[in-house]
Structure 1
């Protein structure tokens, strides 16, 4: 959802876009339009020369957890964000935006009917706590400590790669890479950076379902991007490749 709806780093059929966005909404953070606005606000603020601690995860971990998980930031003069018509005027996205909390009921009812109260708690409440809390925790460390390959000159906030969370986060923890190339569909840019999200997109691309994938080499050159790594000569860039699963499915059909 992040790489598709917010950054448009690839194209896919509408039914697949709706499915990915719906699964993203079920994480329990906000509706699709709300998540876009939250992302754009944070992204805009972090590119400024100065950034409020709330938006850069700049306070202590306890204080930041309280802020991010319990509070809203209200600005006297907020920036204006224009959400494109294909999202803001889309009836499906408008419905999700109005009812994103209630979408949990679609899962809650069958979970309760099948497994009772225990399945309801683990399938809805615990899942949402882990998902939202995990999103914040990775975000906190990804803006404070970890490996860096690049720095963005003039930006108040630098992203960090959180190696231990690379696989668990579907590749989203390669946040230094994302700060450097936000429009890239691939976040784990090297072979030693596991990126399950990219593996899925690569397989779908092999099947011809996902098209027009954007990678760093297809993005505009950023003059403010500075390489700060000392071991680039030892690393192998990841490239699109044939997928054995996709090859098997093609043969089978």
Structure 2
């Protein structure tokens, strides 16, 4: 029997929520310049450049490289490709890759149990979720229970990026400033990263609380929901009920009306021969054993 969270703590005894000082400093280091100079620096060409960087970093780096590739192993690729995609993740500005690997394993472990502690449940307000998720980090008293692959935790390249991720972003900001000017740096770094951080957090919050679901997960606290708009805007990450049911699928959409732009990026890499053995829902055995198909279940804020 695992210990459970108490009314005084959102995590189980032995685990601790600690202020993520680097996370806090980084968030507002990006947000303040974005708010002060972002609007005055905005232009069509710079917006386009920032959008392209978002596709490269968030699409290829986060959704395809870190999430579907390293964490869920939904395809195979050469070590160079894996390393390059991890480097692109660093330039999302979301943080270090190993921090994200760890928290993903923590979250998946607890959300697929009925005794999920409050920190990983989504029965709280958006204000509390903003406070918890963007300002704190979980320190586990027993990281071995999460069975994080040792080849990930001790991968030399990932360890290096974990220690230096912010330096890569700052150097890129300096190079953009030197080559294209202050306005280009503001739009392509602080504004883009602020949108990425808040966008990722918001998609994660909403896709665990609101939308439609076609799967239930036995003995799980969180089943996730699908959202057409957020799914399309987040490279498929907003189809979270599908992802909970088919975690190893490189394709997060399961219906024709769900636009998973991340899947098209995977398909592009496969066509170029950069990834192979791609796991696809409906073609491979990607469904979690405890996932059960059900008729549509909707949940929206006005139903609470």
1:28 is aligned, of 71, 75, 93, to 93
Give the deviation of 1:196 after TM superposition.
Answer: 1.1
| CA displacement 1:57-80 (0-9 Å, x = unmatched) | 321111111111112344555664
Give the alignment of 1:7-86 within 5 angstroms: 7-74=72-139, 80-86=145-151
> Does 1:229 pair with 2:295?
yes
What do residues 193-224 of structure 1 show as CA deviations (whole Å, max 9, x unaligned)?
A: 11111112123223333210112342266442
**Structure 2 residue matching 1:148: 3-state secondary structure:** strand
Describe how 1:193-204 pairs up with structure 2 within 5 A. Answer: 193-204=258-269
For the 8 Å contact 1:9–1:214, the answer to whether it is kept is yes
Instruction: Please give the TM-score of this superposition, normalised by the length of structure 1.
Output: 0.83
Q: Distance in 2 between matches of 1:82 and 1:30?
A: 22
* Greater fraction strand: 2
Unmatched tracts of structure 2, length 5 or more: 1-64, 298-304
User: Matches of 2:266 and 2:286 in 1, distance apart?
Assistant: 22
Q: Per the alignment, in what secondary structure is the counterpart of residue 130 of structure 1?
A: helix
Distance 1:173 1:7 in 2: 16
Q: Distance in 2 between matches of 1:52 and 1:58?
A: 11
> Is the 1:58–1:64 contact (alpha carbons within 8 Å) kept by the matching residues of 2?
no
Q: Give the superposition deviation at 1:82.
A: 4.3
- Distance (whole Å) between structure 2 residues aligned to residue 115 and residue 132 of structure 1: 24
Which deviates more, 64-73 or 96-105?
64-73
Q: Which runs of 5+ in 1 are unaligned?
A: 232-253
Residues 227 and 41 (structure 1 numbering): CA distance in 2 closer, same or farther, change over 3 Å?
A: same
SS at match of 2:269: helix
Most deviating of 19-28 and 144-153? 19-28
Structure 2 counterpart of 1:219:
285
TM-score between the two structures when normalised by the length of structure 2: 0.70
Distance 1:51-1:82 versus aligned 2 partners, 3 A rule:
closer
Matched residues in 2 for 1:211 and 1:98: separation?
30
Deviations 1:89-143 (CA, angstroms, capped at 9, x unpaired): 3322121011011110231121111233322222222222111111110000111
Structure 2 CA distance for aligned equivalents of residues 230 and 142 of structure 1:
15
- With 175-184 and 217-226 compared, the bigger mean Cα shift is at 217-226
Equivalent position of 2:231 in the other structure: 166
Q: Is the 8 A contact 1:150 1:176 kept in 2?
A: yes
Q: For 1:137-216, what aligned pairs fall within 5 Å after superposition? A: 137-216=202-281
Q: Secondary structure at the match of 1:150?
A: strand
Structure 1 residue 22, shift from structure 2 partner = 1.1
Q: How many residues align?
A: 231
Matched, 1:100 2:165: yes
> Which structure shows the bigger proportion of residues in helix conformation?
2
